Amino acid sequence: MSERLIVVSTDCHAGLPIADYKPYVESKYHEVMDMAVPVQVEMMDKASESFLIKEINDAWREPIRSELTGAWDYKQREKMLAQDGISAEIIFPDGITEQNTPPFGAGLGLSPRQAVPELQWAGAMAHNRWLAELCANDPARHLGVASIPLLFDVQQAVEAVRWCVDNGLRCVMIPTMWLEHDPYHHTKYDPFWEVCEDLGVVIHFHSGPAPHPEYFGPEWPTVDNSEQLPGAMGAYVSEVMWWLYRPLTFMIWGGVFERFPRLKAMIVEGGTLFMIPPWLRLLDHNYTDVQFSAKLGDFRSHLSMAPSEYFARNCGIGASCVPRADLDIRDVIGAELIMWGSDFPHPEGTWPNTAEYYKQTFADFPEDAGRKILGENAINFYGLDRNHLAEVAAEIGPTNELFH
């Protein structure tokens, strides 16, 4: 007997076309926004030339132009989620794909590089205001990830988290890279970790940010240095996952999860699950194999568990568009930590071919593990309303026949 599955995508994206954020930006920033938006659009155009092959991207976009408006239009979004059989979603800001990103660099990259703190905060809160409206359509199905430029002002970030929770947002994204700012093992961030723990707010790191000038040249994206820097994209895609894991390396060794044992953190769209076990093994090696590091002094007595144990207790993995080969090593990673994501509406995601992806990836897959990865793990990690999502799944969810 077939049964509908509750599917939760832990990696979806939404955002207004950049100029449309103006009503959500404080009026005192409207004039500077009018000047900044054309510049940001120009930079996005140039960046997309590096990251998206125009002919391929245009061909992918052409037959689904109206559906792509689901990145900001709620009715269209509902249709796309139904088409994919997704009962609930975790919604990140967007970026260059449809140029539907918050102004002032407050989008998916959320980098402090060349940012004006006051303006980046203004762009972030504009996005958060709009996102709260979007998610209010059905808060049990749509969990918005607020943009929080934590590096510039910890107290402002604490206040922003309280605003987010008051307005229905209980997930936040903080910068993956800190550059010249204090890294995340600094105790100055403890008030932020504390408020997130107290209010049940999940911290997120999303892949993409990296030291782009090192790969593409200091003038990128305004100058194309591909001839002088061959293989730049290969170097970037080979290293970008390490910049995603790096914040957790600092947080684990810094004792953040020791001091705040109920704090939750997610790494999303890491690209390759098979890199996580050796990364954790490296951390554990430096915790347990003391004969190799005793001369460096005591850097572990403030921890009561091995790094991999903190990761298993406090962290989750947003496994976007995960291939079958990665899922086959689920027991090495910990099947309870893996949470699938569609990456809607990005061209590297499963949409609009998610139904076929299910068949190809989960055929002859253990049903219990498949249910966990596709939805049950996320329900537990985020504390979702399972009964409500079961009602949604009864209408749109794929059936368990995909495992057989």
Sheet strand arrangement including 338-341: 8-13, 88-92, 142-147, 171-173, 202-206, 265-268, 315-320, 338-341
234: pLDDT strictly greater than 90: yes
More confidently predicted of 12 and 59:
12
Q: Rounded to an integer, what distance in angstroms lies between the CA atom of residue 142 and that of residue 132?
A: 10
Q: Rounded to an integer, what distance in angstroms lies between the CA atom of residue 58 and that of residue 201?
A: 38
Q: Rounded to an integer, what distance in angstroms lies between the CA atom of residue 160 and that of residue 195?
A: 10
User: Into how many domains does the chain fold?
Assistant: 1
Q: Rounded to an integer, what distance in angstroms lies between the CA atom of residue 205 and that of residue 318?
A: 10
Q: Is the peptide bond before 191 cis (omega within 30 degrees of 0)?
A: no
Question: Each residue of 48-64: pLDDT tens digit?
Answer: 776 666 677 778 788 88
pLDDT band at 289 (very low <50, low <70, confident <90, very high): confident
What is the residue range of 360's domain?
A: 8-403
Quick check: is 3 in a domain? no
Residue 398 per-residue DSSP state: P
pLDDT of residue 280: 96
What CATH number is given to the structural domain containing 379? 3.20.20.140
Q: Rounded to an integer, what distance in angstroms lies between the CA atom of residue 163 and that of residue 165?
A: 6
pLDDT of residue 63: 87
pTM to 2 decimal places: 0.96
pLDDT of residue 292: 66
Question: Each residue of 376-386: pLDDT tens digit?
Answer: 999 999 999 99
Q: Rounded to an integer, what distance in angstroms lies between the CA atom of residue 347 and that of residue 47?
A: 16
Q: Is the peptide bond before 221 cis (omega within 30 degrees of 0)?
A: yes
Structure tokens at 204: 């997120």
Quick check: is 246 in a domain? yes
Contacts of 210 (CB under 8 A, 6+ apart): 177, 236, 239, 240, 243
- Burial pattern 33-54, b for ≥16 Cβ within 10 A else e, equals beebbeebbeebeebbebebee
Residues of the chain above pLDDT 70, percent: 97
Question: Each residue of 67-102: pLDDT tens digit?
Answer: 999 999 999 999 999 999 999 999 999 977 778 999
Comparing 92-106, 290-304, 358-372, the range with the smallest average pLDDT is 290-304
Q: Is the peptide bond before 103 cis (omega within 30 degrees of 0)?
A: no
Residue 320: name the closest of 347, 280, 356, 283 by CA. Answer: 347
Quick check: is 312 in a domain? yes
Quick check: is 46 in a domain? yes
Quick check: is 291 in a domain? yes
Residue 212 DSSP SS3: helix
Environment class of 256 (CB within 10 Å of its CB; exposed 0-12, middle 13-18, buried 19+): buried
Q: Tell me which amino acid residue 114 is.
A: Q
pLDDT of residue 57: 75
Quick check: is 2 in a domain? no
Residues of the chain above pLDDT 90, percent: 83
User: What mean pLDDT is predicted for residues 20-43?
Assistant: 93
Comparing 45-54, 157-166, 254-263, the range with the smallest average pLDDT is 45-54
Question: Each residue of 108-138: pLDDT tens digit?
Answer: 999 999 999 999 999 999 999 999 999 999 9
Residue 373 per-residue DSSP state: I
Q: Rounded to an integer, what distance in angstroms lies between the CA atom of residue 209 and that of residue 109?
A: 5
272: pLDDT strictly greater than 90: no
1: pLDDT strictly greater than 70: no
DSSP string, 100-168: ---STT-SSS---TT--HHHHHHHHHHHHHHHHHHHTT-TTTEEEEEE--GGG-HHHHHHHHHHHHHTT
Q: Rounded to an integer, what distance in angstroms lies between the CA atom of residue 169 and that of residue 203?
A: 12
Angle 93-169-340 from CA coordinates, rounded to 5° = 60
Q: Rounded to an integer, what distance in angstroms lies between the CA atom of residue 324 and that of residue 362?
A: 7
